[in-house]
Structure 1
Amino acid sequence: MDQKTIPPEKARQGRRGWHVLAILVVGLALALVAWYAAEWSAPPVTPPAEGTAN
């Protein structure tokens, strides 16, 4: 069986680049949008009145 020699740069599983950074930035932006939507849609929390039992 004839074996081929592959350079280490081509044998790597994945490469780093702008597309990885873009996916991370878009994911962070979507998380921030979801957090803002949850904060905006939640009812305001009011502290209990003085003298009430817990």
Structure 2
Amino acid sequence: MAKIVPEDKARQGRWGWHALRILIAGLLLAFIAWGAVEIYGEVIKGPTTGQSVPQAPATGQKPAQGG
């Protein structure tokens, strides 16, 4: 038989500090992972220079003409 509990004493549980700490820790870990990926993306992009050197065609070959 079910136990009858008065309405003023019935509760689902405590406020949930433990769950809040877990959620905050997960959010911090997500930010750390995001930062690591941003840094890794900048590293693998490599150095870029604003100057590009056009390559001349090899001797004996004519440049391709479109049309």
**Normalised by the size of structure 2, how large is the TM-score?**
0.48
Q: Which runs of 5+ in 2 are unaligned?
A: 52-67
Matching residue of 1:8: 10
Change (3 A) 1:3 1:21: closer
Identical aligned residues as a percent: 42
Structure 1 position 23 matched with structure 2 position 22: yes
Q: Which runs of 5+ in 1 are unaligned?
A: 50-54
Count of residues in correspondence between the two structures: 43
Q: Provide the alpha-carbon RMSD of the alignment.
A: 2.5
Larger radius of gyration: 2
* Superimposed CA distance per residue, residues 12-37 of structure 1 (whole angstroms, 9 cap, x where no aligned partner): 2x543211210111011100010011
Question: Which consecutive segments of 4 or more residues in structure 1 shift more than 6 A?
Answer: none
Higher relative contact order (CA 8 A, sep 6+): 2
